[in-house]
Amino acid sequence: MLHGGNHRCGDNLFTYSVSHKDTAVGTKNLKFRLLRPNDSSCFLAQASLFFLLVSFNSDQPVDGCLGPLTVVLDHTSGFEGLLFVDDDLLGVIGHSNFSSIRATTCVYRGKSILMSRPPLSSLRWCTEGVGDTPDSYAYDGNRVRKWNVTTTNYGKSWAAGDIVSCLIDLDEGTITFCLNGQSLGTAFSNIKMGPGVAYFPAISLSFKESVAFNFGSRPLRYPVEGYLPLQNPPTADLLRAHKLLGYIKTVLSTTLDTQEEKVLEKDSACWSLHGEPTTLVTLAHIFNYFAPLMCKVYLVEDVLMNFLLGILEGGGSVDEHPLIQQLLDLFWLLMEDYEVNECLKQLMMSLLRAYRFSPIIPDLGFQIHYLRLTTAILRHEKSRKYLLSNVLYPFIVVFFYIKTPLRVKEAGLEELIPTTWWPTRFDKEGKESKDESAEERLRRRAYERGCQRLKKRIEVVEELQVQILKLMLNNKDKGTGEASRYIFLNKFRKFLQENASNRGHPTALCPPEYMVCFLHRLITAVRSYWDEGKMRNPGCVSSDEAYVPPQLFYNGKVDYFDLQRLGGLLSHLKKTLKDDLASKANILMDPAEIQATSMDDLDEEEESGSAQRPFGAVAMGGALARPSWLSSPTLGRANRFLSTAAVSLMTPRRPLAPPEKVKVRTLAVEQRTEEDIEGSHGNDGLLLGRPLEEPDHPITEKSLLEILDGIVMMYNLSVHQQLGKMVVVSDDVHEYAVALKDTEEKIARCPARRPDILEELQKSQKVFAEKLNHLSRRLAWINATIYCKDKMLDVYWLLRVCILTIQHADNTGTLFAFAPEFYLNVAMNSYSSLKNYFSPSNCMDQLPGYEDTLTQLAAILAKHFADPRIVGTDIKDSLMQALASYVCYPQSLRAVERIPEEQRVSMMRNLLAPYEQRPWAQTNWILVRLWRGCGFGYRYTRLPHLLKTKPEDTNLPSLQKPCPSLLLQRHMAELLSLDKDMAASFLNSVLNQLNWAFSEFIGMIQEIQQAAERPERNFVDTRQLKVCATCFDLSVSLLRVLEMTVTLVPQIFLDWTRPSAELLLRRLAQLLNQVLNRVTAERNLFDRVVNLRLPGLESVDHYPILVAVTGILVRILVDCERQGVSRAASVLLSDPCFQLHSIQHLLGEGETSPAAAVLPQTPAVHPGDPAAAPAERKHFSLHACEYISLAEQKVEQMLAFLTIESKQAAASTPTSEEDLCPICYAHSISAVFKPCSHKSCKACINQHLMNNKDCFFCKATITGVEDYSKKPTAS
């Protein structure tokens, strides 16, 4: 049957005819011929084309299936637990542990197939419900097992992005699973069949696991011969679409030569829309039928996408294939707007699915192919803007992700990297040794060459991804409305808001592995545009010196959602700093912005905001509207994320002159235009409110500044966390390499008479080697995509951006409080990732300007850890911890010493503030690190008794070699010498905390000892052990700070012209005697708990605490001048707790104390327990310690001196009981209180007055203290 039409073309008639004889797909069955004007076969042009195709009714259900024609997930009744379900009911994500859902259709006969995309817990067929029932059959790729009441090993491990095909044969009674098209073998046979038995596809998910189903609504990626999907494909529409596409191809490859009166064939790649009108009319007739078909996802994916991919198959750059641009012009011309919109949506989503779920092959061919087509589509301006506005967000990040293959063999890494390598030489602490043999060097170089080949192939994909971003960041395409960059900017900000506002809902967040790749591509694209702007305008700042100007933080042009500011809540800052905003930045806050002055107002705002923000329904035991992440990116979703809160911004309403006070009001993010961002006619746009401290010169295009701000925020949201997770593969390689090395050493030592042991060792060796081969190739992929030099430079650039931004914001004075906290967080975290996460081959010293950057970061940490403008507890703790880590490493400590002297002195002054006024543990740790290496016996990296054990992580700051700072010690000495009040309050706080920490420690070990003495089996809480060890470590570190103070500034204790010197010395002596008495006695509480060697108390030992005490005693009793030594000795000996044998114990000379002799022995003593053989236990002695230098061996001199002094003190006349202080009963009465006239010794009253002004006895307020001396009695 034939229908046709004609159209006048100049003096000729153009006639076309359509034949339906051959319905094969792709056949050129559209014929053209030219007719003379007087040809009798001329006839009027038809208005439309008619086609007769083979009829096939696709609306019939699949034979053997029961249920709706369109198969989806049963979100009304077929589920258990809490789930988020896609709007198309084909994707689901678990929001509780082991939640389950089934499909709406079941099968009872024949062969059926469905496809799903993990990660997921288990995929199954079941008769009713879901779970481990006799008629439920499941495959779990996480645990690599199959389930049917019982479980056995089956299949392979799956990963995110894999496709699992589930095949059920109800003729033979078998169930089979396939992974990425490869059969895993028959999983179950002889399954129950017969009348009344039908099987539903079902899924069980753990929290955050997701899956996308394909029951047949889209073309199957891996069809299996003989099996049908649960849903019939649209066969009739499919045939029509292929036929119409064949007609379109014919038209595109045909041209009319009106001069020669010929119909000529041409290359369709050269076709242009601006051609013969006859061709256009013909295409219009064809599109009348073709356009409605292109609104269906199955047809778009199977017909249109494959056709467009075929255009690019010839290779070359995307620019060499203009046909796709012409076709998109044709779509917009000949299709209705709603049709082309739906077609582009389905096309882009099909491309996204194809890219995400394509298998990894060595040349990454699939990923490159789909990215090339995506690039070609986005090069079309009108299509790009539509997709940016309506489709791509938040799914666009998927196109920038390069997934890591879980199975290196299937990814072809064995061919790409044939030689593997891992470190084989380690020192005693488990660190890699730089020495290597010639063979190891050859292996390493071969491995590095393979890694380089892989890196070059990945760079091809990354370059395409950057091209896509550059297209979306184009700000010159204003021919069809707003430029792409400003559409991208508003969508990007909304994307950040959704991820920042849903931290409590992990299922609504963009996966962090996507964010990492997106961040790196965005940095590359932004820096490219930034430097192009620098070339056009040399007065701008280069990308190497990029920063975010401080006015963005307070002028309201950029919304930071509910993120914390350094100075607290934004509403609070607007009220308290409104005068500073007016005076420094010429900004007047709109009263409407700060009118919420009570909690009721704030609650009302939250309620109204929540009413305007749709939130995905959440109900326990319900199937919910799923956010979009990210298994099945589909169209028309009501909830792309859990929260789609509108963003509010403040913007000027009219052009402004610089000196004018600016009143700003809010504007929703979706309403922002290019003028709002870039500014015009005297309007500064995003840079409104420049402070006087900020230089008046252009930085770059203002839109790039907001994108840069978003990049920093994105790193803080999840990128840093993901960088820390991925480094675990490198840690695994290290652990397996150490295990393999240890096994090989055992094999070498294995005696010939034990072949059984040798066989087991060889099996272990083989397992370790195979695992290392796998991990080393996987590590090569991770290093190429995440930890390579280029990515390291990106993170370093972010660090530089944050440092410069913080410096500029700091210059604004009080307005620094408006800066978001995440800038400081990113500065600290990016430095941490550079130091700890990136490969050792990427040395930080090679980074450009690294020394200066270290110094600038040190200045920020030193200044802001105690900055009163910063109020957040978490950020202040983070700054303190960062500074504590900074001073542990020699290179960063030298950077601290390079900052200006004024800043160094200010830092030390802040560190010496009284401990009671702030969290003090980190402060004390910093002071200890500055002293470590100078103290008595304090040159160890690890405690001597732990040297035989391997540390968990040698990169921990606490395990770094001592690197004391003499410069900072000198600043500390000067401050304590000159400021007597600060010295007294600081040392009083240190002594208070030492008293608390050691008392808590003693109390806890008493409880531990009591638990150990019980005859029945008992367990000590690990948390209690950890707290106990922490209190001990705090006691030791506080003693070290006291040692440092006594060494640097002994006059604080020994110069009694200072009002607090005598008191501090007496308190110090009291604490030292208490520590010595409780630690030195043999078989006492401390000794027995130490010898239990409980896990968690490894750091509790005699050495660290006794050498710290010894260091203090040697300094005040040996190294000081004679008068000071005399005072120290008299105070120490006058303390009632002083016992000479405690000092003798330090040298192993002490005898068992009487108190220890009467202590009860532990009844629960077992053979082999150290407590079972006290006679064999070694006595502690400083003579046996390796870390005691010759110069420090003054303990014998100190012991001899104290022995003489104690004898002289014992021979002196004892004080009568009536003259003893009624508070301590240790010293003579030497002070009288005014006005109440009660009496005590000076030490007691001075210590009491430091914390309380009321009389110890009568509670009257003490106005003064006078010396008291007893009048001699008359003889």
DSSP states along 925-962? HHHHHHHTTTSTT---SS-GGGTTSPPS-TTSGGGSPP
Phi-psi region of 268 (alpha: psi -120 to 50; beta: other; left: phi over 0): alpha
1202 close to 1143: Cβ distance less than 8 angstroms: yes
* Residue 814: per-residue pLDDT: 93
Neighbours of 41 (CB within 10 A): 11
Query: Helix 438-472 and helix 365-378: axis angle, to 10°?
Result: 20
Per-residue pLDDT reduced to its tens digit, 522-556: 999 999 999 999 999 998 999 999 999 999 999 88
Q: Which secondary-structure segment (H or E) carries 211?
A: strand 210-214
Q: What pLDDT was estimated at residue 852? A: 95
SS3 532: helix
Report how far Cα 1164 is from the mean position of its chain's Cα atoms.
48
Distances (CA, A) of 1145 to 426, 1088, 1168: 39, 16, 26
Q: Which residues contact 901 (CB under 8 A, 6 or more apart)?
A: none
pTM attached to this predicted model? 0.84
Average pLDDT, the chain: 81
Tokens of 678: 């870039």
User: At 197, which amino acid appears?
Assistant: V
One-letter amino acid of 648: S
- The domains located in the chain, with CATH, are 1-55 (no CATH), 65-229 (2.60.120.920), 979-1153+1187-1212 (no CATH), 1217-1267 (3.30.40.10)
| Confidence (pLDDT) at 671 | 64
The two tokens of residue 216 are 């047949």
Please state, as a whole number, how many other Cβ atoms lie within 10 Å of the Cβ of residue 1068: 26
CB 1069 within 8 A of CB 994: no
> Across-strand partners of 325?
none
Burial of 1170 per CB tally in 10 Å (0-12, 13-18, 19+)? middle
Q: What is the rounded distance in angstroms from the CA atom of residue 127 to the CA atom of residue 107?
A: 9
pLDDT given at position 417: 92
pLDDT of residue 1198: 86
Q: Tell me what pLDDT residue 1173 has.
A: 39
- pLDDT at 95 (0 to 100): 82
The residue ranges of the chain whose pLDDT is under 50 are 1-58, 129, 131, 596-660, 662-667, 1151-1177, 1275
According to the model, what pLDDT value does residue 121 have? Answer: 57
Q: Could you tell me if 125 and 137 are in contact, meaning their C-beta atoms sit under 8 angstroms apart?
A: yes
**What pLDDT is stored for residue 434 in this prediction?**
67
